[in-house]
Amino acid sequence: MQARLLSGIADLPAAAWNRLAPPGDPFLSAEYLGAMEASRSAATKTGWQPLHIAVEDAGELVAAAPLYAKGHSWGEYVFDHAWADAYRRAGGSYYPKLQVAVPFTPVPGRRLLAQNPSARDALVAALHQTLEQLDLSSLHVTFCTAEEAEALRKAGFLVRRGVQYHWENRGYGDFADFLESLRSSKKKMVRKEREQVRASGLELRVLDGEALSGQTLEAFYPFYLATVDKRWGSAYLTRDFFRRLGQSLRDRVVLVGAWKGRQLVAAALNLRGADALYGRLWGSLEEYRFLHFECCYYQAIDYAIAHGIPRVEAGAQGTHKLHRGYAPVWTWSAHLIPDRSFRTAVARFLEQETRELEAQMPDLEALLPYRREGEAA
């Protein structure tokens, strides 16, 4: 088997890449990664230089990973800014670094795409070799699976855990069934929030499939910018990315919109996978109390129940999701650091961070709104 670096996802036939990618994960598809790159959202100019790694056996693609050279730590959602600062103060250059990830997308899933275990071993070896040859500070595999994290640990990576909040369908027939599973106070809270949105006079509609187009999704761009301006101040995704999303992945997109008359005033963008609805982006041009919860959390639950989707993943961070039925789950990443002293320091940090997260997990679970066995409705 031989490994080579690619200058972009277009260097491989889309069908070859997609044969390795999980069919139920839209973010690992050649179409999604291609939309990121062709729209210049993930590009050298934005600090995401594509260097995808491909392992071939007699000319056949048997393993691959979405690899980028990063000039910063933004758009990753696994925060290592403190590591970069410590490395700089010690006299090193943390950037550029290597990142196996889906840009701007904190969705857990496979990162090491391989036909079989031996191909994956060759891929991991190629990652080691690439880091050594480029002589960079580190290589990071973010939002990988727990099984991949363990394999990478055995290959010399440090493993890091994080927490996200996911909703699971416990056999609900509709949203009312879900409400009945909640404690009385939380049930009232959800009803009050939804009623206040309805009282605002907004009309909520869910668009998917044939109701969407590149032009429809391009119209989401101002809503993305509205959120960026409030929170981050730097927009990586371009208008062209949303247009391309509507062209190549229209069947995977679910758009929740809020209309004031004929004007769209807020929207939440989701992507649909085989076993999950993934909440990705939200934006509002006007302020309405609880509209964010309605569009991003309650409408997602409603859609998932109606379409037999067992899980909703509502993105990174946000303990407020707990009170609305989204439970804490572990996420995983793996980090390869050649410098021994720096690796030792990061390992100590991760040990402490893991202890703190493990101690917090029972407290997070205690905040969930579900009725305990024997508790009155």
- 102 & 207 share domain: no
The reported pLDDT for the residue numbered 232 is 56
Domain assignment present for 196: yes
- 10 & 135 share domain: yes
Phi, psi of 304 (to 5 degrees): -60, -45
Query: What interhelical angle do 30-38 and 239-248 show, nearest 10?
Result: 150
Cβ-contact 114, 100 below 8 angstroms: no
- 243 & 351 share domain: no
Domain assignment present for 115: yes
- 177 & 140 share domain: no
- 17 & 150 share domain: yes
Specify the CATH number for the domain of residue 230.
3.40.630.30
The reported pLDDT for the residue numbered 235 is 83
Q: Which residues of the chain have pLDDT under 70?
A: 229-233, 374, 376-377
Q: Of 309, 342, 357, which residue sits at a domain end?
A: 309
Domain assignment present for 357: yes
Domain assignment present for 314: no
Count up the domains in the chain and report the number: 2
- 154 & 189 share domain: no
- 158 & 174 share domain: no
What global pTM score does this model have? 0.95
Which residues form the domain of 114? 2-163+329-365
CA 179 vs CA 94, 190, 370: distances in Å: 48, 8, 9
Domain assignment present for 130: yes
- 102 & 176 share domain: no
The reported pLDDT for the residue numbered 215 is 84
- 13 & 130 share domain: yes
- 157 & 43 share domain: yes
Domain assignment present for 318: no
- 33 & 114 share domain: yes
Phi, psi of 329 (to 5 degrees): -135, 155
Q: Of 262, 280, 309, which residue sits at a domain end?
A: 309
The reported pLDDT for the residue numbered 150 is 98
The reported pLDDT for the residue numbered 230 is 61
Domain assignment present for 71: yes
The reported pLDDT for the residue numbered 231 is 59
The reported pLDDT for the residue numbered 229 is 63
Pair of tokens at residue 251 = 């069947």
Domain assignment present for 148: yes
Tokens 């595999």, residue located: 141
Q: Is residue 126 classed exposed, middle or buried when 0-12, 13-18 and 19+ CB atoms within 10 A define those classes?
A: buried
Q: What is the DSSP string of 43-56?
A: SGGGTEEE--EEEE
- 76 & 149 share domain: yes
